Amino acid sequence: MFTEGPTPQAAPHIRTFHPRRGRIGAARADALARLWPQRGYDVVSDAPGFDAAALFGRPAPLVLEIGCGMGEATAAMAAADPERDYLGVDVHTPGLGNLLLLAEEGGLANLRAARGDAVELLRDLMKPGSLDAVHVFFPDPWPKAKHHKRRIIRPDVVALIRERLRPGGTLRCATDWAPYAEQMLETLHADPGLTSVHDAYAPRPADRPVTKFERRALAAGRRIFDLEFTRA
């Protein structure tokens, strides 16, 4: 378990995800079985600290994508950015299998998958200042008021993300849920160690692939909100 350096004080851990069950096809199951020993990482809170250089086979700036879904956007960004390593973390096994399959098919040596709770990965296993960027694209909006405490962009988790970013590192978020976007903007502006790259919402980044969630939102007429903040 990682204990070195300052760790933000946080309330008792509240899960930011709802475990999903889904059937996994033969190709994804095969990819998990073959590739997980070399390309996969299981989040276990009492394990030794996360060693990115060992997992990727090289030292390089690391991008963490929280909630990588089926992996298409993560794989596309990794393919376009070979000088940095990308780690997609999720709890959805079929999605992780698909991410590994995409990595193999695309010959992406800079892409790996992590299975488990992203908050536990950040809190217990990653060193302060070890991340070049964190991406949180279209997280669960938990629209009911009683579930807002489960949102990933909330003060205690944002403080944790900020501590794991290097100085100058970037936190990028996107959502199609307007009330959540407002809360994101307020929460990120309130963090004393983060600085907005833009006055309010960011222009849509050209390097962020269109996800299935974004396509659904656009088809339904919903606006997409992007945010970009850096660690001071």
pLDDT 10s digits, 110-122: 999 999 999 999 9
Q: Is the pLDDT of residue 24 over 80?
A: no
Q: Catalytic: 140?
A: yes
The total number of structural domains that make up the chain: 1
Band (25; pLDDT cuts 50, 70, 90): confident
Domain that holds residue 68: 43-84+118-231
Residue 29 belongs to a domain: no
Quick check: is 122 in a domain? yes
pLDDT band, residue 46 (cuts 50/70/90): confident
Q: Is residue 110 part of a domain?
A: no
Q: Please state, in angstroms and rounded to a whole number, the distance separating the CA atoms of residues 195 and 199.
A: 10
pLDDT at residue 19 in the model: 54
Give start and end residues of each alpha helix (H) in 81-210.
Answer: 93-105, 118-120, 155-164, 178-190
Catalytic residue among 30, 81, 132, 140: 140
CB atoms within 10 A of CB 212: 12
Q: How far is residue 126's CA from residue 165's CA, in Å, rounded to a whole number?
A: 10
Per-residue confidence band for 26, with pLDDT thresholds at 50, 70 and 90: confident
Is the residue at 15 inside a domain?
Answer: no
Is residue 216 in a domain?
A: yes
Q: H-helix or E-strand containing 41?
A: strand 40-42
CATH of the domain at 51: 3.40.50.150
Distance CA 226, CA 185 (A): 10
Range list of H helices, the chain: 26-39, 52-56, 72-80, 93-105, 118-120, 155-164, 178-190, 212-219
Contact between 195 and 230 (Cβ < 8 Å): yes
Summarised one tens digit per residue, pLDDT across range 63-107 is 999 999 899 999 999 999 999 999 999 998 999 999 999 999 999
Q: What is the mean pLDDT of residues 212-223?
A: 92
Name the pLDDT band for 2 (thresholds 50, 70, 90): very low
**For 117-176, what is each residue's pLDDT tens digit?**
999 999 999 999 999 999 999 998 867 767 578 799 999 999 999 999 999 999 999 999
| Residue 165 falls inside a structural domain | yes
100 within a domain of the structure (yes/no): no
Q: Establish if 204 belongs to a structural domain.
A: yes
